[in-house]
């Protein structure tokens, strides 16, 4: 009798009468089935929970190391911030305050007249463009003169102790007399007083709150 015929002859209701090799094989299969069932019903969920915990531990460890690095370099960061604030303050001092703006506009005008230029347009904007710490005032201007004097005027403006930028430059071809016409926007800046800075910070805060509420 071969193995297949022997298995067919077994009585499933009386496993105690089975030959020992078949009993051992059946026990092995039952044990294997229990292990597979336990893996899918119990161990798989536990393994996933363990893996998730391991990932979380690694994440917390990385966060701790980053905070530790910041804590170790805290004094250096404070010194760097102080240096940045000092440099920023020095730049702000190059900007006029509100009461000095008229004098600055006069200086720009005088720089052109001093080079023999004729002003066809010198019109400061009626509104200023505000940021958190300074305000920008564009001045539309149009001057006429020879090429050398126009270049000297632009150079004089760039060398002013106050910050003035000539933008949107447009130079027309010379006329019959050899005179050129130059249009530009001179952007001047002034720093804000404490009251204006508070208003700008409040406006920025209100804007952020409104944006967050809109979401």
The pLDDT, as a whole number, for residue 22 is 66
pLDDT of res. 41: 63
Q: How many domains does the chain have?
A: 2
Tell me, yes or no, whether 58 lies in a domain.
Answer: yes
| HSE (side-chain half, CA atoms, 13 Å) at 161 | 8
Per-residue pLDDT in tens (0 to 9) along the chain, 215 residues? 455 555 566 656 666 666 666 667 767 777 777 767 666 666 666 667 777 778 888 888 888 888 777 777 777 777 777 777 666 666 666 677 777 788 888 999 999 999 999 999 999 988 888 877 788 889 999 999 998 999 999 999 988 888 888 999 999 888 888 889 999 999 988 877 777 777 877 777 777 777 666 55
Q: 68 and 102 share a domain?
A: no
Asked whether residue 107 is assigned to any structural domain, the reply reads yes
Query: How confident is the model at residue 121, as a pLDDT?
Result: 93
**What's 119's domain CATH number?**
3.30.70.60
Predicted local distance difference test score (pLDDT) of residue 7:
58
Give the list of residues 6+ apart from residue 164 with CB closer than 8 angstroms, or none.
Answer: 104, 108, 157, 158, 186, 187, 188
Euclidean distance between CA atoms 155 and 172, whole angstroms: 19
Checking phi first, is residue 189 left (phi over 0); if not, alpha (psi -120 to 50) or beta?
beta
Q: Do 36 and 126 sit in the same domain of this protein?
A: no
- pTM comes to 0.50
Take residue 145 and report the two structure tokens written for it.
């003169």
Q: Residue 54 belongs to what domain range?
A: 20-72
**92 within domain boundaries:** no
The pLDDT of residue 90 is 67
pLDDT of residue 122: 92
Q: Is residue 12 part of a domain?
A: no
Residue 90 lies in a domain: no
């Amino acid at each position: 009798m071969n193995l297949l015929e022997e298995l067919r002859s077994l009585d499933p209701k009386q496993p105690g009468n089975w030959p020992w090799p078949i009993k051992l094989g059946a026990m092995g299969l039952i044990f294997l089935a229990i292990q597979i069932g336990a893996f899918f019903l119990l161990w798989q969920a536990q393994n996933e929970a363990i893996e998730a915990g391991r990932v979380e531990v690694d994440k917390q460890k990385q966060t701790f190391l980053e905070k530790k690095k910041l804590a170790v370099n805290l004094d250096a960061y404070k010194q760097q911030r102080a240096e940045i604030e000092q440099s920023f303050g020095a730049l702000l001092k190059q900007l006029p305050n509100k009461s000095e703006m008229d004098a600055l506009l006069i200086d720009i005008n005088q720089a052109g007249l001093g080079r023999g230029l004729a002003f066809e347009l010198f019109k400061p904007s009626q509104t200023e463009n505000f940021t958190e710490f300074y305000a920008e005032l564009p001045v539309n201007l149009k001057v006429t003169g020879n090429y050398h004097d126009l270049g000297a005027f632009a150079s004089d403006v760039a060398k002013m102790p106050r910050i003035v930028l000539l933008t949107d430059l447009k130079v027309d071809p010379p006329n019959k007399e050899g005179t050129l016409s130059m249009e530009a926007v001179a952007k001047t800046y002034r720093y804000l007083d404490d009251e204006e800075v508070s208003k700008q910070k409040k406006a920025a805060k209100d804007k952020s709150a409104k944006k967050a509420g809109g979401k």
